[in-house]
Amino acid sequence: MIEIKVPTVGESITEVTLIKWLKPNGAYVQRDEVIAELESEKATFELNAEQAGVLTTKAGEGDTLKIGDIVAAIDETAAAPAGNSTVEVKSEPVIIFEEPVALVKAAGKGIIEIKVPVVGESITEVTLVKWLKKEGDLVQLDEVICELESEKATFELNAEIAGQLSLVAKEGEVLKIGAVLAKINSDVPVPVAVSSKQEAVSSAKPAPANTPVTAIPNDLKASPVAAAIIADKKLDPKSVTATGSGGKIMKSDVLDALNNPGRRPGAELFTRNEKREKMSNLRKTVSRRLVEAKNTTAMLTTFNEVDMGPIMAIRSKYKDKFKEIHGVNLGFMSFFTKAVCYGLQDWPAVNAYIDGDSIIYHDYCDISIAVSAPKGLVVPVIRNAESLSMAGIEKKVAELAGKARDNKLSMEEMQGGTFTITNGGVFGSLMSTPIINIPQSAILGMHKIQERPMAVNGQVVIKQMMYLALSYDHRIIDGRESVSFLVRVKELLETPELLLFGKDPVKTLLEV
């Protein structure tokens, strides 16, 4: 009997949640077959069978499991049922949803010009990143037709009316606000589906005999998701470099092959190839602001370290109840944001900035959180974070991070901010000196949680430690203020019940 345990999925990750069993208890599974989906606080991933045999599930869906906990067991001595002795990964039959369509009456407003919209104060031009529709396509009202990029964000542009699209601008072109991007002939009728998605599914028919289907070799070793993508994208399996155990192709391998066509890891060794790429407006703005921060501030960095054990204990014990009540995970960011807000109220200079010959102080805490988005670094803002509950902060963080990943952040959500928190620990950084997000005067850097031997009352104790870094503008913040602020943050994080306010910290945690 082989035990299937929760694997190590990343530094600082101590537990996962069993989302879904993909194979039922008692099923016969093949080696490397996906049997379950697990979710950590950072990602969702698949769990594979280590041997062929009969599966016995040990954990239930929704259970929170520690790294190393037993998820299932496999009886590798059990005989395979008839017809199931070999591993085969086959593509599913292609199904075409044939929906009846009807031509709606044309809008009849002639040719409408689609112009670059106003996207924020001080923004005078944008770059046309990508057309999502082709010349001559019929588009619906509000259908996304292209992606634009300003110096602060990437956003989508929608069709203002239904009709036939005519492209005016080209991909990569820099356009002024108000410039014409495209034209739509609204006198052309546009077909729309008259049946619902559910009706379309019920009326699904097999593809005609001449529908091209990519054949997947029976001996292909790939996860079900990877095999499905290979079939759907008509990808040659030989162009995919497998990173799974035993040469198995995983989902990430297929996505990497699609994103980097023609490149195979290792094949580019010993070459002298070069590639020139035009810097995006967003990257140019980030570069300019970082250099400006270094050149215009008297920037210093002070360090400290915090024992993360108390916070990790609270999260481990109460995060399930917290999520049940509030619908969001209890992460680290709410603790850090709360601690920072209290520290800023104690040391207001850290929450201020210089404007000419004046210092502007804020009686509120607008906390910027640095997020690595597909197009580069963005810093959305949590407004009045000092007035939000732990759950309120977590909901706002999840909302902003999701928008950043999808390039959906608005100008308003990225403007302002009185203090910034950045977390290099998610990438494995042990220590760094973050650069101030001007015009702010300070930024807090979080780092990787790492077990280290610490001296406690004359005894060596292993603790979960994190280095903290506070970069600050010495023109406005003195050494006493910067160090005292960071010590205050450290004290609050190491006694997290102080962040919760109330006679019963646990009860308060669940009620905030």
Q: How many angstroms separate the CA atoms of 296 and 445, rounded?
A: 20
φ and ψ of 212, to 5 deg: -70, 130
Tokens 């962040």 map to which residue?
499
CB-neighbour burial class of residue 301 (10 A; exposed 0-12, middle 13-18, buried 19+): middle
Q: How many angstroms separate the CA atoms of 310 and 153, rounded?
A: 37
**CA neighbours closer than 13 Å in the CB half-sphere of residue 470:** 30
Please state, in angstroms and as integers, the Cα–Cα distance from residue 296 to each residue in 293, 326, 453, following that order.
Answer: 5, 43, 40
Spatial contact of 314 and 452, defined as CB atoms under 8 Å apart: no
Spatial contact of 354 and 475, defined as CB atoms under 8 Å apart: yes
Nearest CA-CA partner of 183 in 88, 124, 111:
111
Kindly report the CA angle at 308 between 444 and 377, in degrees rounded to 5?
35
Residue type, 180: V
Please state, in angstroms and as integers, the Cα–Cα distance from residue 446 to each residue in 74, 305, 420, 430, 470, following that order.
Answer: 41, 10, 11, 9, 9
Contacts of 222 (CB under 8 A, 6+ apart): 89, 230, 237, 242, 248, 249, 250, 254
Please state, in angstroms and as integers, the Cα–Cα distance from residue 204 to each residue in 91, 349, 391, following that order.
Answer: 18, 65, 44
Q: Which two tokens stand for residue 339?
A: 């601690």
Q: Give the residue numbers marked as catalytic.
A: 474, 478
Please state, in angstroms and as integers, the Cα–Cα distance from residue 102 to each residue in 106, 161, 190, 195, 254, following that order.
Answer: 12, 18, 9, 10, 38
Spatial contact of 47 and 4, defined as CB atoms under 8 Å apart: yes
Residue 332: how many other CB atoms lie within 10 Å: 22
DSSP character at residue 310: H
φ and ψ of 155, to 5 deg: -145, 165
Q: Which two tokens stand for residue 215?
A: 């054949």
Contacts of 496 (CB under 8 A, 6+ apart): 310, 311, 314, 335, 505
Contacts of 12 (CB under 8 A, 6+ apart): 425, 448, 449
Spatial contact of 387 and 441, defined as CB atoms under 8 Å apart: no
Q: Which two tokens stand for residue 200?
A: 């379309």
